[in-house]
Amino acid sequence: MASATLQFELLREIFDLARAQRASLELDDIDRVLDLMAEREVLLDRLTRIAEEHADVPENVVMFPPVVDSMNRDAIALDTVIRGILEHDRQNEALLQEKMAGIREELPRVRQAFRAATAYRPIDSTSAYLNRRS
């Protein structure tokens, strides 16, 4: 399988995971978001290894490029998917920041409600004193 084709397939999977992350964020399913991030890491590692394998061409080897039109189409396809991933990641980050801001705003109210609930808790009337001599 050609390097560009494999790279495209991996990037497409990463794109799909970015979309799934967005859906999970909208559902407040943070556990799923973290699972998807782990899946992305695996794909990114594979993508990095592929790039490194093709970058280590010895100096005495001359790579003959395939047809220029094919190279341009591959580059455009890869660029399009990468831009899509970046856009989804930007939207995911914005959504996550929005949700975190909401949590920050809600925390003082939760603390206040907890203090109020604690203040109304009945005091335990039974003594905690134990007579150790008996």
Q: Are 7 and 50 in contact (CB under 8 A)?
A: yes
CA triple 71-76-78, angle to 5 deg: 95
What is the predicted pLDDT for the residue at 129?
Answer: 57
Q: Are 78 and 8 in contact (CB under 8 A)?
A: yes
Q: In terms of pTM, does the model score above 0.75? A: no
CATH assignment of 3-57+66-119, among 1.10.490, 1.10.3470, 1.20.58, 1.10.10 = 1.20.58
What is the predicted pLDDT for the residue at 90?
Answer: 94
- Which tens digits make up the pLDDT trace of 79-132? 888 888 999 999 999 999 999 999 899 989 988 888 888 877 766 655 555 556
Query: Could you write out the DSSP letters of every residue in 108-133?
Result: HHHHHHHHHHHHTSPPP-S-----TT
The confidence band for 70, taking pLDDT boundaries of 50, 70 and 90, is low
The confidence band for 133, taking pLDDT boundaries of 50, 70 and 90, is low
Examine the pLDDT at 22 and tell me if it is beyond 90: yes
Q: Provide mean pLDDT across the span 55-65.
A: 59
